[in-house]
Structure 1
Amino acid sequence: APPRPAPPPPPPPPSALEPEPEPEPEPEPQRQPEARRQGERDEPPWPPTGGGGSKLPLLIIGMLLLLALAAAAAWYLGLFGGAPDATAEAPAEPPPAPVVSVPEPAPQAAAPAQPELKGRARAQAYLRGDPMPAPGDMLTTAVEWEKGGDCEASIIVLNTAAGMDAAASLALAQRYDPATVDSSGCVSTADAETAIYWYERPADQGDLTAQSRLGLLLTERNTSGPLFDRGMQYLRDAAKAGDADAKARLQKLGE
């Protein structure tokens, strides 16, 4: 039998260093621009407004802004050792102003003392006070001025108070009453009629001393008539209240 032919040698193995070339992509057919109509203008291309665009650039920009803000905050808080020195920025305090000694002004000469008022001028200045003095204060002032020898001012003030107050009226009546007049006082001469006039207010208000003295003066100066009868009534009121002088006068008059 004839001998078999030898088999063909195997193909050489592909080299690992030489990769097979990739097939080149077929070029896409270029889109021919449509014919522009007559009169139309070229419009500038606008970026797509649809939601199909990539948001990666916006995310990157946002992250960069956040990093910049964080770095600025860390720098301000001193995390990087570069915090601003607040004391260095504060303006330096101005130096204290020099102390200037001011000479004390020379003492002014005291104003000349006004002459003390006396008599009517003193009484008028007192009574025109604002507010006007109370009757009780007037009586006290009149007594003080009387002791000081200013009789004119004392009597004017006492007369004013007697027209408003029973106690002042009684005090003024006693200065004119023949039984109690003080020859060394401001009223040195008795005046029974004036005493009767000033006794009426306190007597009508129930003052025992005024009733007794008024009844005695009226019955001494009148033997009958309305004034005598008024005097008798004052004596009865005083005697009923226990006044011994009034009782003695009534007994003398036959009661």
Structure 2
Amino acid sequence: MLRIELKAAQSGQPGHGELTVHGWQEGSDALELTVQRNQDGRYLGENGEWDTSPSWHALGGLHLVDEKLSGEVGPWLIDPLMLDPQMAYMLQLRNEDGSDKGVLRILGTILSSKAAGNSTHDEKKVERKAEPEQDIVPVVPEVLPEPPAPASEVISAPVSEPLVVEAPSAPPPQIPVAKKGSKLPLILVTVLLILALAVAAWWFLLRAPSTDITPSDTPAPVVGAMAGCSAQALSDAREDLSFIQACLKSNPSSEQVLEVIAVAKDAKRCGVVQRLYAHKAQSGDAAIAYAYAREYDPAHYSSGGCIEAADAETAMYWYEIAVNNDPDNQDASQRLEELKK
């Protein structure tokens, strides 16, 4: 079974990635590739859509060195995969010498070609329009010298009006008022005290009830967050994708994920089953990878579920992830060795 990895291209260009295939021994001439996703078993078609029958895509530009096949692939492969990078994909290679397959592992962040935009195309348009307009630019300075003269006149005119000082007429009445009565400061202090008491009374009597209501509202979001990955949350969710996103954001334990998967199986919500399995297993959850491997293992496979058929090679792939992250899992190690025979 091949070990296939995909990461962003060294050039960083959106829509391009570097494909690496470990264990390929059949040469690099006339290679063809087919891609199958595990959610519904559909294959990547010629037009980027997902069809029920396999389509073989010519795979050029890859170089083989010591059973390691590597090279750059373009938007024809990157764009369909980046629509749902958390999905598990099975890739099969073939040429005249033989064929082999493996589960794709997507490493890091890869951008689709849509992220590139049309900035380069727009810049060229701007440059072409700017050239003919340069002949008109020298005419503009001839019109500019006249505005400064009226501008200075307009500024000097209003300056003379603010020079009429009317402020000194206001202060003289205020001076005798302060001298007429010595009780004025006491009256002002009393008024200020009354206002301060009124404000304090309004704050404690009228504002206090609103603060009592706020704590009662805060527990609700906490309860919802705890139920983000549970059987009840799954039954309440109408869309699988929104539930999966909320479930994964809550950072659930392996036990929680397995419980949700069991409920999703009974409800025939296979999209939830496949995506939770694939995401948690690829992220290094040994328990989930082990359970996912048993779904495909011919020795443990049961029909009527979300896995259409047993597949020893797919089971080997998930057993390897389980063993790599949990070397003490003796059953996973034993089944992996038995399937390799």
More helix, by proportion = 2
Give the structure with higher Rg (CA). 1
More strand, by proportion = 2
